[in-house]
Amino acid sequence: MNKRVVFSEGNQKKFIRYVKEKSSLNWKELANKLKVNESTLSKAYTFESCNLPYDLFKQLIKIIKEEENKTLDKYSGKIIDEIKIIGRKVMGEQRKTFDNINITFNNKNIFLDTSKINYSLVDIKKKIKFPNKITPELAEEIGIHYGDGFLSTKRYDYRLKGNINDEIPYYKDYIKPLFKKLFNINANLKKFDSTFGFEVTSKALWEFKTKVIGMKPGNKKDLYIPKTLKVNNQKILCAFIRGLFDTDGSLYFKSRYGYKNYYPTVTISLYSKNLIVEVGEILKMLGFNPSIYLNDDYPRISLNGVGSLKRYEKLIGWSSQKNLNKLNDWKNRYSQLNNMADVAQRQCMRLWLARPEFDSQLPLLSKNQKR
């Protein structure tokens, strides 16, 4: 087990500055000698944002040629197992407060008019159907579309393709049954050159997405969230964010405070600046404090810190197993944070069916049915 050295308040700073003075090195030179980041040494360690790793402590006393026990006595330090000391300082970002949920969309109508959809003979033969209202399931599918999907402008083609390296289980276990449930479409999943997913040609599906939902076909640069989705409904908005971030977003952990792959970030980068702005507004409505970067190439949003991660898991969550695996790995490495539900143990399909906001009796309308 890794160990750290805990000093009484103020003494870690005194110890490091003493070593720097005795070594006659500047911060950069000392950091290079110790093989640590200069900022981590001069700021995080020196200003006691986190405790010193024991191995680093041994390097420091070697520089000044002093005995370990005498140094510990001099600066009131003690050696402790790492798992016992991760606490107030390292987890300080958990004290960050979040706003209450305040959805400012006025529209509460979730019903859809599917009566004007035109069906091809193939659509009728395949018995393609459509929901008669916006549900969390449909909202998540719309988010998935905005992430991985493409709707042609010239033909009735729809493509949904993800990363061939780590998204095959997500497509097989979650997206395929979701399309079956929502549209009665049996997605023919397959590998392409560098992606995995499916292509479908359907006049009815194309018209449902463009005419009923209000989604823009073609280039994704000027995308907006459709008005039908801008409703005063927390579950619907959270589901949309989940689908979008599961496909085009990422969850990763930075090394910070001296802890490897510790600091969580949930982030997304999109081609459309408009979409980034609107997604940022929804996240603010949900009480998050998103960092929004609107550069010309790929504007992005980041949710940083343990508090944001916990809030994201509680309100939004993941349907993609790759992200659940990342979360579970992080929890195993920092088990003292395991007051979060162990969502990574749930299988994607089980998670889908168990979500309370999902209506297992979702009404579907065929061509000849009326609301």
Domain boundaries, the chain: 3-85, 121-365
Query: Which own/partner pairs from 86-93 qualify as long-range (CB within 8 Å, at least 24 positions apart)?
Result: 86/259, 86/334, 86/336, 89/48, 89/49, 89/50, 89/51, 89/257, 90/49, 90/50, 90/257, 90/259, 90/262, 91/306, 91/337, 92/49, 93/263, 93/304, 93/305, 93/306, 93/307
What local confidence, expressed as pLDDT, does residue 333 receive?
78
Find all residues with CB under 8 Å of 177, minimum gap 6, and list them.
349, 352
Low-confidence winner among 67-76, 86-95, 228-237 (lowest mean pLDDT): 86-95
Task: Choose among 140, 139, 144: nearest CA to 158.
Answer: 144
What local confidence, expressed as pLDDT, does residue 96 receive?
61
DSSP assigned state of 111: B
- Integer CA distances (angstroms), 64 to 11, 71, 79, in order: 16, 10, 19
Looking up tokens 């989940």 gives 242
What is the average per-residue pLDDT within 16-34? Answer: 93
Taking only the tens place, the pLDDT of each residue in 181-215 is 999 999 999 999 899 999 999 999 999 999 999 99
Mean pLDDT for all residues in the chain:
86
Domain 121-365 CATH superfamily: Homing endonucleases (3.10.28.10)
The CATH code belonging to domain 3-85 is 1.10.260.40
Please state, in angstroms and rounded to a whole number, the distance separating the CA atoms of residues 257 and 53. Answer: 10
pTM tops 0.75:
no
Please state, in angstroms and rounded to a whole number, the distance separating the CA atoms of residues 363 and 113. Answer: 13
Q: Give 211-237 as a DSSP string.
A: III-PPPS-STT----GGG--S-HHHH
**pLDDT of 43 over the 90 cut:** no
Low-confidence winner among 45-54, 202-211, 228-237, 324-333 (lowest mean pLDDT): 45-54
